[in-house]
Structure 1
Amino acid sequence: MRMPLRDRIALATALPAPLVVALALAPFRTHMTSANLALILVVVVVAVASLGSRAAGVLAALSAAAWFDFFLTRPYQHFTISHGDDITTTLLLLAVGVAVSQLAAHARTLKLVTVTDAAHLARIHETASLVQGGGSPYAVVDQVRQQLVEILGVRACRFEHGTLLGRHPRLEQDGSITVGRAHWDLDKDGWPGEEIELRSSVGGRYVGRFMLQPEPGTAVPSLQTRMVAVSLADQVAGALDTAGPVLDR
């Protein structure tokens, strides 16, 4: 799975960014306290951590502590520290930098989850409104098919009406994948290398299925996203059960 661009940028800058800032601060090291110099480097760590991953933040914290020691504490340009207070400041810089990077990465994750939740709820509400408003079953099928392509990141998706269901890998109601009777490890193996069946059911009865065609090598969506896909497919079943048969699409 390819790393997002912002994470790659953060990792690329995690080591050199504190170095550049420490070099810029070197002319002022005799006019500023060690604590103030360390705080400036903490800001750099926070910037890297909020841009990228937790790993980038930790690397930036290690880099900041090392260059603070090398350029901003006596004896200068040596990885040694002569004053006890400077040792304490360096250790605190490292500890605070790592802690802040963890918090920044966690905040980024929470923001992503919140945005994703809102988008998923909007899709479910949109489809439910179409069904409850007596929309054409064709329209419901087409809308959900497009939504499944978007949220699951699959290459293509088609709907087959009917109860004669084949033996394809199946996206289950709990968001897991089964191949035959065996559980498929999505985290380890990614998508199965063939079409995946997502059944539409209402009241325990299957009325059709969506056939998903994953793009080889793409990331597997989260369990939450897969559960949303199941919910959308079941809304199609409700629309078909109310409106009657629809031709295979």
Structure 2
Amino acid sequence: MRTPPRDVAALAAAVLAPFLAALALLPLRGSATRINLALLMVVVVVAVATLGNRWAGALAALSAAAWFDFFHTEPYQSFHIRDRADIETAILLLLVGIAVSQLAARARVMRSVAATDAEHLERLHRTLRQVRSVGGTAPELIDRIRQDLVEVLDLRDCRFTTAVEPHGPVPPRLRADGSVGVEGWIWDLDRQGWPEGEVELRAMAGGRVLGRFLLRPVSGAVPASAEARLVAVDLAGLAALVLDAPERLPQAGDLEDGSRRLGVDV
């Protein structure tokens, strides 16, 4: 899998930013204490960790300790340290930099997760409002949910069928708890990724299967989070409610026409 551009930029910053910061602090070498200089280097480490990930933060801490040693401890322009206090300062810079960078990276991940969860919840509410509106027909609402599934699970494509049983071998299935079941296998989605081929997500209401979404993940893509998969299950539940409400269903001919128009396979 390709490394995201943001992580590549963070790794580059982890190497270059501490070096540039150490150079910028050279005019203060004679007036500021080494402890204060080390604390300023920690600020740079935190900035890199906030931009990237925990690995970038750890690399930045190591780079900061090395360039602090090179430029701000005697003998200068050397990675050798004579004074014991300088050795302790450099080690503390490394340890504090690593610890704080990990906390900063974790905080960034938690903010990202919170924002993603809020987006998923808003999508679910928006679709629910559309389902409750009086203007939507079954094919239109099913297609809206199909599009939501593509976005929530980051799929290549998704289609819907009213056939409640597969024609042929049982495909992998996205279960109600967000896990994936594969016939004859214990499937670890987080470790093994999406199974090959289509993954079935059943639309169920009152214990009955009313249709199935057939998900087509991007080959080799990292599976969506457990929270996103649970939102997908809820979306399929909304589709089942639409199909289970007779007053919302058009005539059979209209449903067939709508399926061709909206990409719904019946």
TM bucket (normalised to shorter chain) is: over 0.9
**Alignment-derived partner of residue 11 in structure 1:** 11
1:137-167 CA-to-partner distances (Å, cap 9, x unmatched) read 1221011111111111111111101323341
Aligned pairs for 1:68-217 (under 5 A) are 68-134=68-134, 135-166=136-167, 167-217=170-220
Alpha-carbon shift at residue 86 of structure 1 (Å): 2.0
Q: In terms of mean alpha carbon deviation, does 139-148 or 212-221 score higher? A: 212-221
Letter in 1 for 2:19: L
1:210 partner SS: strand
Alpha-carbon shift at residue 26 of structure 1 (Å): 2.7
Is residue 223 of structure 1 aligned with residue 226 of structure 2? yes
Alpha-carbon shift at residue 24 of structure 1 (Å): 2.8
Number of residues of Structure 1 aligned to a counterpart in Structure 2:
249
Alpha-carbon shift at residue 93 of structure 1 (Å): 1.2
1:36 partner SS: helix
- Give unmatched runs, 5+ long, in structure 2: none
2:26 partner SS: helix
Asked if the contact 1:208/1:237 (under 8 Å) is kept, the reply is: yes
- Give unmatched runs, 5+ long, in structure 1: none
Cα distance in 1 between the residues matched to 2:106 and 2:218: 29
1:197 partner SS: strand
Cα distance in 2 between the residues matched to 1:205 and 1:165: 15
Alpha-carbon shift at residue 34 of structure 1 (Å): 0.6
2:156 partner SS: strand
Cα distance in 2 between the residues matched to 1:24 and 1:123: 47
Alpha-carbon shift at residue 212 of structure 1 (Å): 1.1
1:120-153 CA-to-partner distances (Å, cap 9, x unmatched) read 1111111211222343212210111111111111
Alpha-carbon shift at residue 108 of structure 1 (Å): 0.6
**TM-score for both structures, normalised by structure 2:** 0.88
Asked if the contact 1:176/1:183 (under 8 Å) is kept, the reply is: no
1:55-104 CA-to-partner distances (Å, cap 9, x unmatched) read 00001001111111121011212323233332232122112211111111
Cα distance in 1 between the residues matched to 2:9 and 2:79: 28
**TM-score for both structures, normalised by structure 1:** 0.93
Identical aligned pairs, as a percentage?
A: 52
Q: In terms of mean alpha carbon deviation, does 75-84 or 13-22 score higher? A: 75-84
Alpha-carbon shift at residue 182 of structure 1 (Å): 2.0
1:182 partner SS: coil
Cα distance in 2 between the residues matched to 1:183 and 1:93: 46
**Alignment-derived partner of residue 37 in structure 1:** 37
Alpha-carbon shift at residue 216 of structure 1 (Å): 1.2
Letter in 2 for 1:180: E
